[in-house]
Structure 1
Amino acid sequence: MSATNTAELSAFWRVLAEKGWHGVTMRAVASEAGMALSDLRRHYVSPFDLLLAHGRAVDAEVIGGTIPDDTSPARDRLFDVLMRRIDALQPDRAGVVRLMRDLPTSPLLALWLLPRLTPSMAWMLEAAGIDTAGPGGLLRAKGLVTVWLAALRAWEKDESQDLSATMAALDRALDRAERMAKMFGFADRDSAAAAASPAGALPPPEAPTAAV
Structure 2
Amino acid sequence: MSQFQPKTSPILEALSDAALAVCATTPWSEVSLIALCKEAKINLADCADAAVQKATIAAYLDQGLDRHMLKNASELMLDHKVADGLFDCFMARFDGMEIQRSAWVSILKADALDPAASFARATRRARTSAWALEALGVDTTMMWAWFGVLDLARRLKKMETLWLDDGPDLSKTMAGLDQSLKESERWASHVAGLGAYFKRQHLNR
Normalised by the shorter chain, which TM-score bucket? 0.7 to 0.9
Contact 1:10 1:92 survives alignment (8 Å):
no
Is the counterpart of residue 50 in structure 1 residue 57 in structure 2? yes
Q: CA RMSD in A?
A: 2.6
Cα deviation 1:12-71 (Å, max 9, x = unaligned): 123234332332212211222344444555556111000111122222222233214133
Which of 148, 167, 178 lines up with 1:140 in the alignment?
Answer: 148
Runs of 5+ consecutive residues of structure 2 not aligned to the other structure: 1-7, 196-205
Q: 1:122 to 1:108 in 2, by over 3 A?
A: same
Partner of 2:121: 113
Q: Which residue of 2 aligns with 1:181?
A: 188
The 2-side partners of 1:89 and 1:11 are apart by 16
For the residues of structure 1 that align with 2:192 and 2:42, how far apart are their CA atoms?
A: 53
Instruction: Say whether residues 1:155 and 2:163 are aligned partners.
Output: yes
Cα distance in structure 2, aligned partners of 1:155 and 1:15 = 21
**Cross-structure match for 1:60:** 67
Q: Paired residues, what number? A: 184
The residue identity in structure 1 corresponding to 2:66 is: D
Percent identity over paired residues: 26
Name the structure where helix makes up a greater proportion of residues.
Answer: 2
Q: Secondary structure at the match of 2:100?
A: helix
Say which of 14, 19, 38 aligns to 1:12: 19
Q: Which of the pair has the greater relative contact order for Cα pairs under 8 Å at 6+ separation?
A: 1
Please state whether the residue corresponding to 2:17 is helix, strand or coil: helix
C-alpha displacement at 1:86, in angstroms?
A: 0.8
Gaps in structure 1 of 5+ consecutive residues = 189-212
Residue 78 (structure 1) aligned with residue 86 (structure 2): yes
Change beyond 3 A, Cα 1:104–1:59: closer
Greater Rg by CA = 2
Question: In the alignment, which of 95, 100, 105 is matched to residue 92 of structure 1?
Answer: 100
Q: Is the 8 A contact 1:14 1:94 kept in 2?
A: no
Which stretch has the larger CA shift, 124-133 or 38-47?
38-47
Select the residue among 154, 168, 172 that pairs with 1:165. Answer: 172
Change (3 A) 1:157 1:75: same
For residues 56 and 187 of structure 1, the distance between their equivalents in structure 2, rounded to whole angstroms, comes to 33
